[in-house]
Structure 1
Amino acid sequence: MEFENLLLELANNGVLTITINREDKLNALNSATMEELNSAFQRVYDEPEIKAVVITGKGQKAFVAGADIAEISELTQMNGRKFAERGQEIFAQIENCPKPVVAAVNGYALGGGSELAMACHIRVASENAKFGLPEVSLGLIPGYGGTQRLTQLVGKGKAFEMIMTGDIISAAEAKEFGLVNHVVPVEEVVNKSVEIIDKILSKASVAISHVIDCINLAASGNDGFQNEANAFGNCCGTEDFKEGTSAFLQKRKPIFTGK
């Protein structure tokens, strides 16, 4: 499938880089771009040669500077709810992806951009990155899951402050509050993301997929202990489990096959 608003590049190690390619619009998310993200992640789910994903924005100024305001301004109460629900579905697809997804935040991540970054499993920010959910300035609230994921990541009090004031924070502040994992120079943001993914990909892929599921369940406020026990048991039935424990006992590096 050809994309108009995304650039997809699959490296030899199985890492798919998805670049939001609307630099002249500061990579703002319109409905067409959202649907392309949905299609791209269907490929991630379906194609075994794709092992992990890095999401970034074109250029060094913006990751995603928000949603398309001209498009949003036409919403009504009825289709506004459907608009938000569709965005939540697409970002949930990213959050629940069984393969690791890292956001390489290379500049402004505002509104829907912050929401996209928060839907990823790990966030690496450039030193010039800015984060914020300024929707209240438009008479709106975050609609793609921002009220929920920001609260999970930074806590209730800070989420109230950021969303109700619409304040924009620096990458350093975002790291301090737990919104991002690492802050690096802008030219290193993708490389740092790939470095983290390479480390993850050296582990057992079945176990990693269970980790994603269990942590997402915990973050949703549900009791995930039984789910964790079930996943642990499933891991014990895999070839990777036998290989990992054997390699440890034999004092050698494991060779995982994803089975």
Structure 2
Amino acid sequence: MIALQSLRNAAPLRRPLTLAATQGSRLFSEKAPSDPIIIDRLENEHKGIVVIGMNRPEAKNAFGKSFVQKFTDTVKIIKHDQDTRILIIRSLVPGVFCAGADLKERATMSDKEVVEFVNRLRKLTISIERLPMPVIAALDGAALGGGLELALACDLRVASSNAKLGLVESRLAIIPGAGGTQRLPRLVGASLAKELLFTGRIFDGKKAREYGVVNHAVEQNETKDAAFKRAMELAEEILPSGPIALNLIKTAVDVGMQSDIGSGYKIEEECYSHVVPTKDRIEGLLAFKEKRAPRFKGE
């Protein structure tokens, strides 16, 4: 129960986006082509789907200090936004999702600065992992090192079949520092994870699907956004579900995976108890009775 409460504190149920959270921020009000992080709030039948687009072409979306800070600020805002039902993270730079750490910037850092930066990057991936809504990564290009660690922090991953993925840090005589050594084994098992980590192997989207690193691998199209389009299809499929239920499913799975099966049943029981008194549950029953689509409000 302690673990469940801890995660719930880190990833709270949706609350309205406050004025204080948006003051001084242009993330949601403006989308300049030069911004390293561009946010699209989709409308009409896609209302509730929000897309974060990484847009740092000069560095192939590599993680530098400023980029990580802007990304972190964005995630903090989305965390408390009740209108965001599903989040998709993609790249707006053709041919690359994220090239990992900005090694040119890294070369100018002291040992202490490197440790501090990697800690900030790890905190960013943890904050994405603990977002209350489902998060989908669309990999329409290379996701290497920290780029793949970012994708691993998402709930679901879609890759183009020709995307290049890998945790390549061992080739630079370092190790993944943004959660890769912990998340990859939970996806593919310890033995395969060690093989991929020891070798720093780079593999394509099809092999990633075979390994279990991604949920779907799709053939790339002429516009080079096949993974994003498949991610949108997944988001559309999830969108009709109740947002509180989605949050609690995510909590039950994530916390339960870190527990024995007996504790997992207790975690599921506690999560279910939080669904029972919601207005959304009553709306679901009424919609079923009236043979109509439910109108969930996250209440």
Preserved contact between residue 110 and residue 131 of structure 1 (Cα < 8 Å): yes
For residues 58-97 of structure 1, the aligned pairs below 5 Å read: 58-97=92-131
Q: Give secondary structure in 1 for the equivalent of 2:241.
A: coil
For residues 209-228 of structure 1, the aligned pairs below 5 Å read: 209-221=247-259, 223-228=263-268
Structure 1 unaligned spans of 5+: none
1:7 to 33, 38, 47: 38
Q: Give secondary structure in 1 for the equivalent of 2:247.
A: helix
Q: State yes or no: 1:144 paired with 2:175.
A: no
Q: Give secondary structure in 2 for the equivalent of 1:231.
A: helix
Query: What is the TM-score when the length of structure 2 is the normalising length?
Result: 0.81
Q: Structure 2: which amino acid aligns with 1:206?
A: I
Structure 2 CA distance, aligned partners of 1:258 and 1:2?
26
Structure 2 CA distance, aligned partners of 1:67 and 1:217?
29
Q: Hey, what does 1:256 align to over in structure 2? A: 296
2:244 to 202, 206, 210: 206
Q: Residue 221 of structure 1: CA displacement?
A: 4.7
Q: Hey, what does 1:247 align to over in structure 2? A: 287
Larger mean CA deviation between 37-46 and 202-211 belongs to 37-46
Over residues 129-184 of structure 1, what are the superposed CA-to-partner deviations in whole Å (9 max), with x where a residue is unaligned? 11101111111100000000111111101110111100001100100111101112
For residues 128-143 of structure 1, the aligned pairs below 5 Å read: 128-143=162-177
Alignment: residue pair count: 259
1:178 to 212, 216, 219: 212
Q: Structure 2: which amino acid aligns with 1:147?
A: T
Q: Hey, what does 1:111 align to over in structure 2? A: 145
For residues 12-23 of structure 1, the aligned pairs below 5 Å read: 12=43, 13-23=47-57
Q: Give secondary structure in 2 for the equivalent of 1:44.
A: helix
Q: Hey, what does 2:230 align to over in structure 1? A: 192
Q: Give secondary structure in 2 for the equivalent of 1:98.
A: coil
Q: Residue 249 of structure 1: CA displacement?
A: 4.8
The percentage of aligned residue pairs carrying the same residue is: 33
Larger mean CA deviation between 53-62 and 229-238 belongs to 53-62
Q: Hey, what does 1:229 align to over in structure 2? A: 269
